[in-house]
Amino acid sequence: MKVEQPSYTLAIAIEFLGTHYRGWQRQKEVLGVQEALEKAISKVADEPVEVVAAGRTDAGVHASNMIAHFVTQAYRPSLNWLRGINSLLPDDIALRWVQPMPAEFHARFSAVARRYRYITLNQTPRPAILNHQVTHIHKPLDLSSMQRAATDIIGTHDFSSYRAAACQSNQPIRTVSRADLFAHGSFIVFDIQADGFLHHMVRNLMGTLYAIGHHELEPEDFLNILAQKDRTIAPPTASGDGLYFINAYYPKAYQQLLPNMPLTPVWLNLPD
């Protein structure tokens, strides 16, 4: 009689630079972050492993704390998982921690909120060290006008005007609980949290905030665009360079099990 092997559900936190990847999702002809992770984890587990993330990122978008999980029949101490997987990953992807979780934990479906930060470097000269890690805007931005518009993002809205044409979500309504916009030196940080995000939603919102900051639109135009439910009337999508997935949040029973570490890179911890 065959004895069935126990399985283990493991949560992981991933940081990655998305510059050289076509987003999170595994794809046939181009490299995604998911594929690179699954190859490394499967080798350590000595069996095929599928990794499920709390959210998806577009091409060129980064993550400082993407929560994901995988299920395996292989037992390894958490530190062994961490060291083994990181030794096999490319330099621009790394695990931050590995945490055993209850079998019913699901990184995507158990999440109650997700949070992003969009980092703009608003100065005349272009950056070198931060190239592709921030979005560089050389013309001055009117922060106060952008902040007035950002307050209108909070709440439950139909975000059809701020979703990509290729968005596969079956409905466009999302509830935004946080939409803070603040400056720290030459950095402008857009910190947004919601129960979920549509394809390109944060980048499209940022494109409108840039237009407001350059006085191409007025702060009240944000709500006018929102009410039209028409993507074609909103400004262009902002670059993926400045966008970071920074966290996912879960019910207390799960959240208290997950390690709480400062965000990386260090400058992403700009005080709000």
Q: How far apart are CA 86 and CA 44, in angstroms?
A: 10
CB 215 within 8 A of CB 142: yes
Residue 143 vs residues 115, 215, 242, 272: alpha-carbon distances, Å = 21, 11, 17, 14
Which H/E stretch holds residue 36? Answer: helix 33-45
Residue with tokens 């330099």: 91
Q: How far apart are CA 13 and CA 160, in angstroms?
A: 30
CB 198 within 8 A of CB 169: yes
Which H/E stretch holds residue 43? Answer: helix 33-45
* Residue 58 designated active-site: yes
Given 58, 191, 195, 241, the catalytic residue: 58
Residue with tokens 């921690």: 97
CB 14 within 8 A of CB 95: yes
List residues with catalytic annotation.
Answer: 58
